[in-house]
Amino acid sequence: MIYYVGSFLLIALGLYAVIIKKNLIKILIGLDLIASGVNLLIISIGYVKGGTAPIFSRAGLKASMMVDPIPQALTLTAIVIDASEMALAVAFVVLLYKYYGTLDIKKIRSLKW
């Protein structure tokens, strides 16, 4: 249960950071928080009470004792996607700082209307 709540809070915090914070790095942190929240949500959906990891590493493990493997697979994919997004985002921020000399989002608005 706590995982659900935690993931919701992570998503909400991330969104809050994205909307309210002015610093580009903080915005990126916000994005990452959202992503982590979503990943946590996915994993917690797949959980089955008393289940174990879906790996038949030793004899005697039964399918009925295991948690849902799909959310884990999805999370794996989602994490990689988030990581790639973040790498690209950091690259953008570095260049933005180079051009504008600031990390304040309010000052980075040469494109408008």
Residues 25-64 close enough to bind other proteins by CB under 8 A: 27, 31, 34-35, 38, 41-42, 44-49, 53-57, 63-64
State which amino acid sits at residue 42: I
Q: How far apart are CA 65 and CA 100, in angstroms?
A: 56
Shortest gap between Cβ of 112 and other proteins (angstroms)?
3
Structure tokens given for 12: 């909400």
Which residue bears the tokens 């996915």?
42
CA proximity to 53, closest of 43, 66, 38: 66
State the number of binding residues for other proteins (CB under 8 A).
73
Shortest gap between Cβ of 71 and other proteins (angstroms)?
7
Residues 74-103 that bind other proteins (CB under 8 A): 74, 76-85, 87-96, 99-100
Residues 9-28 that bind other proteins (CB under 8 A): 9, 11-12, 15-16, 18-20, 22, 24, 27
Q: How far apart are CA 65 and CA 103, in angstroms?
A: 50
**Alpha-carbon dihedral sign for residues 63, 67, 71, 77:** negative
Shortest gap between Cβ of 28 and other proteins (angstroms)?
8
